[in-house]
Amino acid sequence: MYKETDYTYRVFWSEEDNEFIGTVAEFPLLSYSGKDQIETMQGIVDVVKGALEILQEDGKEEPEPLGTKLFSGKFALRMTPDQHKRLAMEAAESNVSINQLLVSRI
């Protein structure tokens, strides 16, 4: 079983809500709002802890934390032929591969 501290959190300011919002990547439907960053971070972590307890009680599998997943390093990208042509031309002008050009922009 994973712990609530294993997951990927984000706390950001929301002008619309006039408070901080905490989210967790692996549980996209969960969030927590608070008046300061520390309270908000603790709040969303507590929400995830509760969600994990419910999943365990119900015998359901919890999501795998992003930090434990293995990634291949490969990413397939589709684009229009015109975009591909522009990238090929820019890469050639920079004397790099299209892959190197795109990785340098990430």
Verify that 62 and 31 share a domain, yes or no: yes
Nearest to 48 by CA among 25, 81, 68: 25
Give the range of the structural domain holding residue 50, as residue numbers without chain letter.
Answer: 4-66
Verify that 60 and 97 share a domain, yes or no: no
Verify that 30 and 76 share a domain, yes or no: no
Verify that 31 and 50 share a domain, yes or no: yes
Verify that 62 and 77 share a domain, yes or no: no
**22 burial type by CB count under 10 A (0-12 exposed, 13-18 middle, 19+ buried):** buried
pLDDT in tens, 65-85: 999 999 999 989 999 999 999
Looking at the DSSP bridge assignments, the partners of residue 24 are: 9
31-34 and 9-14 beta bridge pairing: unpaired
Verify that 54 and 80 share a domain, yes or no: no
Q: What is the CATH number of the domain that holds 42?
A: 3.30.160
User: Chain-wide mean pLDDT for the chain?
Assistant: 96
pLDDT in tens, 23-60: 999 999 999 999 999 999 999 999 999 999 999 999 99
Structure tokens at 27: 């549980």
